[in-house]
Structure 1
Amino acid sequence: MTSSDDQSDDVRRDFGRLWGAYTVSAAGSAIGAGALPLVAVLALEVTTFQVSLLAALSALAAAAITLPLGGRVEHRRKRPVMIAADLLRCLALLSVPVAAALGVLTFAQLCLVGIVQAAAAMMFGAASTAHLKGLVPPGDRLRAASRFETTNWLSLSAGPPLGGLLVTAFGATVTLAVDAFSFLLSALGVRLIRRPEPEPPARAGSPGRGRDLLAGWAYVLGHRGLRPLFWNAMLFGGAIMMGSPLLTVLMLRELHFTPWQYGLALGLPCLGGALGARLTAPLTRRLGPHRVLLLFGVLRTPWLLLLAWAPAGALGPVVMITADTFLLLAAGVFNPSFTTYRMAATDDGVMTRVVTAWSVGSKTAQPLSMLVGGAVAAVGGVRVAILVAGVLCVASALLLPWRALPSAAGGAGRAGAREENEPTGKPASA
């Protein structure tokens, strides 16, 4: 066996450990999907505005905490950051069932847990993207991203229904304990990766704290391909997250879903996401990466409008599941294609800061949208707020990169598109 073959085998084995860690944490998070607002509604009986406030405060505070850390993580090895983020999420989530068992759980604690969880997730995402780019060859990245996306959607298809059954049997906080344990196993899986990390990018001179904080945004907004995708992501993600806590209220309070119906409505549509992720590579070969981004960027936008009209009774879950399935099918195709392009289009020396800037932008736009959604719901009702979110979702299609995408950094964009057709794809965590 050649040294090249040995190196490839090492990458595959280490990727197996990384993928295993991701699968465990994805499964745990899927079981706990929507758990914080569910606990807020069922255990603490908070108002509709407080449900939106919980998600909004968590994201905004997490963005403020994470922003100054992106530059520091950029110039450090990524694996220890990933492990620390997993352990932090484990402890934060575990505090909720413990507090509930002691009878001292409060809305303030849920907000604090949401902040810690969101901040740790952002740091893990930024570090893991840079880590993955150093581990997986360019030609494997689209198939890698597709496989991670498939794992995510398959977990989400089975996890929420199981979580709903666990909540029905054992109470609203049990799924948070499962999620916490999954992050502990994820940290162990990352720790078992043996291949040494490449040297982190060296800091070029002393650019100053302010410039270092803004480096990710400067790169994104100065790149003709990433800039429209960034603004599209802000509007689309904001609209989706604006509707997310409101849909929880709609299902539980207006449509009177039981916990198992709630879990089914969250989980079953994710099979559409898994199918979409599996179709990304063949569709990209047939249509090209730019057409895939445009076509499925548009096809994911209209479905929130249908959710606003979901009727009560037996037809309600059918409408919710059908609309969500088609939304996630389109998103399942779009997401790996976008992830692959962003990795290829971003220089290694700014990868972590670009992902951090993207996450901070999302975690700012999304909670502001949630607050707007909560305010609109307080005045006009939950369905009106979901309808507004649906209109914004459709409008996001106007911000897609309708002009041809430029080659990625260093000319890697075209090369990456060609290399995606090669074999030996391994999953990516974005």
Structure 2
Amino acid sequence: MTSTMQAPPQGLRRNRDFHIFWVGETISLFGAEVSLLALPLTALVVLGADASDLGLLRFAEYLPFLALALPLGVLVDRRRRHPLLVIANSARAVLVGAIPVLAALGWLTMPWLVVLATGIGTFTVLFDLCLVAYLPKFVAPEDLLSANGRVSVSQAGAEVAGPGLFGLLVHWLSAPLCLALNAASYLVSVVSLLLVKRPEPAPARVAGTPWQDFYDGLRFLARAPLLRAVTLAGSLHNLAWAVFQTAFLVYMNRILGFNVGVVLAAGAAGGLAGAACAPWLSRRLPVGVTYLAAGAATAVPALLIPAVSGQQTFLALVDTALLVVMNGGLAIFSVLTATLRQTVTPDRLMGRVVAGYRALVFGGISLGGLVTAWLGTFAGPRAILWVAGLVFLSASVPILLSPVPRLRGFGTEEQAVSEPESASEQGAASSSE
């Protein structure tokens, strides 16, 4: 079990380091949301990119999540996380800031943009892995759920306000200049990290090789009943979401003729509400019950969206409301899963376990893209939505077949003993005896 959560039980409200960190991370999240739209728009406007180019650009952004998450997880577990966080956001500031500079000089090309997108994605993976592993260093165990909820609220808030903020900024500025603002937001995050005063203890000395570390992380993730269940469910959620999102956009835009931007912003508001409510729900309901409720709130609306019929305006309003509920369920699942990983994973395995989780989850996104491309050759958007709904429903199966529904809270004794030790931990225990 995790034994290195060193933060004193002073309460999250009085935790100065968390609030400084949270403010900086919130600003960088808003900046990243702007760049998510500004990067492809820069390719379109400045370089005259076509759909194939944009697909390559998106692939370059997500490739590091698939190819580098696990080896970077080994690095995270062998080094202090705070310096790595500073390096990651400093590098993202430089790489994102290079795009408007190259555009202004007339040197920006599509190959350069793809290379920079790959670099940005690489340091995003490093930052995300370190973030989850670093948070318990200055947040007490009993405050982790609330801390994860607040970070998720910031993320959902950025998703809600990001498209509108980008629309205003691109109206006043060019897309490359919006990326310059994104680079500045990463620098704000770096400053906030440097202001965190609580010293981070050195990681435990690792006797094994990096390959052994790699194996231990995957072994723990695969053999821990709780983590295995939520990882499988998370992968199915992301596969379903990748299929659903593409079909939903086509369905809303081409069949219903509704404003997709308004619908997505409203749906993101559901994610904001879900992230904010997750700590409140888990304090009033057993964690296992909350997990099941989140799964139902995701699968049921996904199945209702293609089933509802009626006039165009009625359909648009009902489908938007169902999307809000879906995003709320997914956000609750995300907050609960992040807290569960942090409470059942030994600190020395945290980076590798999170890396394995992220690789499998983002693998679900990639597989979902391939499934959607295949289904689109012979099925319409409504039929594809039915498929997505069924996959969302199947995500509840690994949860139901695991100990998760019986969980009453995080860090309970029965939860601890259900998690296996890694091979290296068993060896360490033997040698200590």
How much has 1:130 moved relative to structure 2?
1.5
| 1:62 to partner: Cα distance | 4.0
Task: Name the counterpart of 2:199.
Answer: 196
Distance 1:327 1:120 in 2: 30
Q: How does 1:222-371 map to 2 (within 5 A)?
A: 222-244=223-245, 263-304=261-302, 318=317, 321-371=320-370
Q: 2:127 aligns with which of 120, 124, 128?
A: 124
Residue 81 of structure 2 is aligned to residue 83 of structure 1: no
Query: Pick from 18, 21, 29: which aligns with 1:18?
Result: 21
Q: Which amino acid letter does the alignment assign opposite residue 166 of structure 1?
A: L
Match for 2:280: what amino acid?
Answer: P
Q: Structure 1 CA distance, aligned partners of 2:101 and 2:165?
A: 21
Percent identical among aligned pairs is 28
Gapped regions of structure 1 (runs ≥ 5): 418-430
Equivalent position amino acid for 1:234 in 2: S
* Letter in structure 2 aligned against 1:186: S
Query: 8 Å contact 1:59–1:364 — kept in the other structure?
Result: no
Mapped partners of 2:249, 2:323: distance in 1: 13
CA shift, 1:79, in A, is 0.7
Question: Given the two structures, how large is their TM-score scaled by the length of structure 1?
Answer: 0.80
**CA deviation after TM superposition for structure 1 residue 110, in Å:** 4.1
Amino acid at match of 1:233: G
Q: CA deviation at 1:256?
A: 7.3
Equivalent in 148, 152, 155 of residue 151 of structure 2: 148
Distance 1:374 1:220, change over 3 A: same
Is this contact kept in 1: 2:12–2:18, CA < 8 A?
A: no
SS at match of 1:195: coil
**Structure 1's 312 and 201: CA in aligned 2 closer, same or farther, altered over 3 A?**
farther
| Kept after mapping to 1: 8 A contact 2:270/2:325 | yes
Q: Which amino acid aligns with 2:266?
A: L
Out of 278-287 and 185-194, give the one that drifted further.
278-287
Q: 1:399 and 1:378 mapped to 2: Cα distance?
A: 30
SS in structure 1 of the partner of residue 15 of structure 2? helix
| Contact 1:52 1:373 survives alignment (8 Å) | no
Q: Secondary structure at the match of 2:168?
A: helix
Q: 2: distance between equivalents of 1:365 and 1:320?
A: 24
Query: Which residue number corresponds to residue 421 of structure 1?
Result: none
**2:133–2:350 contact (8 Å) kept in structure 1:** yes
Unaligned runs of 5+ in 2: 1-6, 416-433
What's the Cα RMSD here? 3.7
CA contact (8 A) 1:255 1:311 kept: no
1:115 is aligned to: 118
Alpha-carbon separation, structure 1, partners of 2:176 and 2:257:
20
Q: Aligned partners of 1:302 and 1:104: how far apart in 2?
A: 50
What is aligned with 1:221? 222
Q: Distance in 1 between matches of 2:337 and 2:400?
A: 11
Higher mean Cα deviation, 61-70 or 13-22? 61-70
Question: Does structure 2 retain, via aligned residues, the 8 Å contact 1:237–1:362?
Answer: yes
CA distance in structure 2 between the aligned counterparts of 1:285 and 1:306, rounded to whole angstroms? 30
Structure 1 CA distance, aligned partners of 2:309 and 2:48? 24
CA distance in 1, matches of 2:361, 2:82: 24
Quick check: 166-175 or 188-197, which moved more? 166-175
- How far the C-alpha of 1:167 sits from its partner, in A, is 2.9
| C-alpha separation in 2, matches of 1:95 and 1:188 | 20
How far residue 56 of structure 1 moved from its aligned partner, in angstroms, is 3.5
Contact 1:74–1:353 (8 Å) recurs in 2: yes
Larger CA deviation: 333-342 vs 187-196: 333-342
Counterparts of 2:246 and 2:46 in 1: how far apart (Å)?
Answer: 16
Contact 1:68–1:213 (Cα < 8 Å) also in 2: yes
The whole-number CA distance in structure 2 between the counterparts of 1:10 and 1:288 is 24
- Counterpart Cα distance in 2 of 1:104 and 1:388: 45
CA 1:119 to 1:146, structure 2 compared with 1: closer, same or farther past 3 Å?
same
Given that 1:160 and 1:264 are in contact with CA atoms closer than 8 Å, whether structure 2 keeps it comes out as no
Shifted more, 219-228 versus 245-254: the winner is 245-254
The answer to whether the Cα contact below 8 Å between 1:300 and 1:330 also exists between their aligned partners in 2 is yes
Give the Cα separation in 2 of the matches to 1:169 and 1:389: 39
Aligned residues: 407
Match of 2:299, SS state, is: coil
What TM-score do the two structures reach when normalised by structure 2?
0.80
Amino acid at match of 2:238: G
- Counterpart Cα distance in 1 of 2:377 and 2:99: 28
Rate the CA distance shift 1:342–1:254 in 2: closer, same or farther, 3 A.
same
Say yes or no: does 1:414 pair with 2:412. Answer: yes
Q: Secondary structure at the match of 2:204?
A: coil
In structure 2, distance between residues paired with 1:263 and 1:316: 16
Contact 2:288 2:405 in 1 (8 A): no
Q: Is the 8 A contact 1:164 1:262 kept in 2?
A: no
Comparing 41-50 and 310-319, the one that deviates more? 310-319
Matches within 5 A, 1:18-167: 18-39=21-42, 51-102=54-105, 105-167=108-170
2:360 counterpart letter in structure 1: G
Q: Distance in 1 between matches of 2:99 and 2:303?
A: 34
